[in-house]
Amino acid sequence: MLSEADILTALRDCFDPEVKLNLVDLGLIYAVATGPDPDSTPRWPRQWVKVTMTLTTPQCPASGLIFEQVNNRLAGIPDIGKVEVELVWEPKWTPHRISAEGRRQLGI
Protein backbone atom coordinates (compact mmCIF):
# COMPACT_ATOMS: atom_id res chain seq x y z
CA MET A 1 0.00 0.00 0.00
CA LEU A 2 1.30 3.44 -0.91
CA SER A 3 2.06 5.76 1.97
CA GLU A 4 1.63 9.52 2.26
CA ALA A 5 5.38 9.85 1.67
CA ASP A 6 5.05 7.86 -1.58
CA ILE A 7 2.29 10.18 -2.78
CA LEU A 8 4.26 13.30 -1.86
CA THR A 9 7.29 11.93 -3.70
CA ALA A 10 5.14 11.46 -6.82
CA LEU A 11 3.70 14.96 -6.48
CA ARG A 12 7.20 16.42 -6.52
CA ASP A 13 7.00 15.77 -10.28
CA CYS A 14 4.22 18.40 -10.52
CA PHE A 15 5.29 22.02 -10.87
CA ASP A 16 3.74 25.45 -10.67
CA PRO A 17 4.57 26.71 -14.17
CA GLU A 18 4.93 30.31 -13.02
CA VAL A 19 7.21 29.70 -10.04
CA LYS A 20 9.10 26.68 -11.47
CA LEU A 21 8.95 24.87 -8.12
CA ASN A 22 7.23 21.58 -7.35
CA LEU A 23 3.87 21.76 -5.59
CA VAL A 24 5.09 19.99 -2.45
CA ASP A 25 8.05 22.30 -1.80
CA LEU A 26 5.93 25.30 -2.76
CA GLY A 27 3.63 24.34 0.12
CA LEU A 28 0.46 23.90 -1.93
CA ILE A 29 -0.22 20.34 -0.76
CA TYR A 30 -1.96 20.49 2.62
CA ALA A 31 -2.93 16.85 3.16
CA VAL A 32 -2.90 13.40 1.61
CA ALA A 33 -5.32 10.63 2.56
CA THR A 34 -5.31 7.08 1.22
CA GLY A 35 -7.37 3.97 1.64
CA PRO A 36 -8.49 0.82 -0.14
CA ASP A 37 -10.44 1.38 -3.34
CA PRO A 38 -13.78 -0.38 -2.75
CA ASP A 39 -14.23 -0.84 -6.50
CA SER A 40 -10.96 -2.71 -7.02
CA THR A 41 -10.90 -6.45 -7.47
CA PRO A 42 -9.44 -8.84 -4.88
CA ARG A 43 -6.94 -10.03 -7.49
CA TRP A 44 -5.65 -6.49 -7.96
CA PRO A 45 -6.33 -4.44 -4.83
CA ARG A 46 -5.86 -0.76 -5.46
CA GLN A 47 -6.30 2.31 -3.33
CA TRP A 48 -7.90 5.74 -3.50
CA VAL A 49 -6.00 8.93 -2.87
CA LYS A 50 -7.39 12.28 -1.82
CA VAL A 51 -5.14 15.33 -2.06
CA THR A 52 -6.16 18.51 -0.28
CA MET A 53 -4.39 21.48 -1.77
CA THR A 54 -4.55 25.18 -2.43
CA LEU A 55 -3.18 27.64 -4.96
CA THR A 56 -1.02 30.70 -4.43
CA THR A 57 -3.98 32.93 -5.32
CA PRO A 58 -7.66 32.34 -6.15
CA GLN A 59 -7.05 33.94 -9.56
CA CYS A 60 -4.16 31.60 -10.43
CA PRO A 61 -4.13 31.42 -14.25
CA ALA A 62 -2.45 28.00 -14.17
CA SER A 63 -5.02 26.35 -11.89
CA GLY A 64 -6.38 24.02 -14.57
CA LEU A 65 -2.91 22.89 -15.58
CA ILE A 66 -1.91 22.31 -11.95
CA PHE A 67 -4.97 20.16 -11.21
CA GLU A 68 -4.44 18.22 -14.42
CA GLN A 69 -0.82 17.52 -13.45
CA VAL A 70 -1.84 16.22 -10.02
CA ASN A 71 -4.61 14.01 -11.41
CA ASN A 72 -2.50 12.64 -14.25
CA ARG A 73 0.56 11.98 -12.09
CA LEU A 74 -1.41 10.01 -9.50
CA ALA A 75 -3.68 8.27 -12.00
CA GLY A 76 -0.53 6.99 -13.71
CA ILE A 77 0.48 4.99 -10.64
CA PRO A 78 -0.80 1.41 -11.14
CA ASP A 79 -1.71 0.90 -7.46
CA ILE A 80 -4.08 3.90 -7.46
CA GLY A 81 -7.63 3.37 -8.66
CA LYS A 82 -9.26 6.67 -7.70
CA VAL A 83 -7.91 10.19 -7.32
CA GLU A 84 -9.73 13.09 -5.71
CA VAL A 85 -8.29 16.59 -5.55
CA GLU A 86 -9.92 19.00 -3.13
CA LEU A 87 -9.20 22.71 -3.45
CA VAL A 88 -9.31 24.69 -0.21
CA TRP A 89 -8.61 28.33 0.59
CA GLU A 90 -8.14 27.99 4.34
CA PRO A 91 -5.57 28.17 5.64
CA LYS A 92 -4.49 30.76 3.11
CA TRP A 93 -1.22 30.03 1.31
CA THR A 94 1.68 32.32 2.17
CA PRO A 95 5.36 32.19 1.16
CA HIS A 96 6.08 30.91 4.69
CA ARG A 97 4.74 27.53 3.52
CA ILE A 98 7.67 27.07 1.09
CA SER A 99 9.97 24.31 2.35
CA ALA A 100 13.64 24.84 3.14
CA GLU A 101 14.51 22.94 -0.05
CA GLY A 102 12.13 25.14 -2.03
CA ARG A 103 13.71 28.28 -0.58
CA ARG A 104 17.11 26.98 -1.56
CA GLN A 105 15.96 26.30 -5.12
CA LEU A 106 14.43 29.78 -5.37
CA GLY A 107 17.49 31.43 -3.87
CA ILE A 108 15.62 32.94 -0.92
pLDDT at 108: 87
With bands split at pLDDT 50, 70 and 90, how would you rate the model's confidence at 1?
confident
pLDDT at 44: 80
CATH (residue range 4-106):
3.30.300.130
- Is 80 exceeded by the pLDDT of residue 11? yes
pLDDT at 9: 97
With bands split at pLDDT 50, 70 and 90, how would you rate the model's confidence at 85?
very high
- Sign of CA pseudo-dihedral 25, 29, 35, 41: negative
pLDDT at 23: 98
Query: Structural domain boundaries of the chain?
Result: 4-106
Mean pLDDT confidence for 66-89: 95
Query: For 29-73, what is each residue's pLDDT tens digit?
Result: 999 999 998 888 877 888 999 999 999 999 989 999 999 999 999
Calpha distance 15→17 (Å, rounded): 6
